[in-house]
Structure 1
Amino acid sequence: MPFLLEVDLGTESLTALANKIINYVRLADMTRWRWPVLFWLPSTRRELTIHILTDTTIPDLVATASGDEH
């Protein structure tokens, strides 16, 4: 299954990342494109914060994971 990968190195603001998620969802809503997007984040804290910023309602189109140990 094809998917898109966004690797976050911690250099962008969390607001910018949240906006990327919103824009991927908008793109999917406006087109027939339905590839999932995986956001790989450098820490669990950053991953949890992005969920909070997106009201914890990240759609099925978007998945998150982090590189540190849980």
Structure 2
Amino acid sequence: MQRETVTAPLGPVSVLADPRFGKTRVLTNRIQPLFYNHNFAPSQIRAGTFTQNDTQTMRGRLDT
């Protein structure tokens, strides 16, 4: 599931899994190429997480 989500064609994706299955990492790996390879602006991407902690984790990964 994870590899298919990260490498899926451009467009919306949904990642549904139990806790601790790497959803935040999968979304981060999906988003990073949009910035670096496809020149998307942050305002063009919408990502949702379940908790504030997940949001902070994702932002931290995308800022590096």
| TM-score between both structures, scaled by the size of structure 2 | 0.49
Identify which of structures 1 and 2 has the higher relative contact order when contacts are C-alpha pairs closer than 8 Å and 6+ apart.
Answer: 1
Q: TM-score, normalised by structure 1?
A: 0.46
Q: Which has the higher helix share?
A: 2
Identify the structure with the greater strand proportion: 1
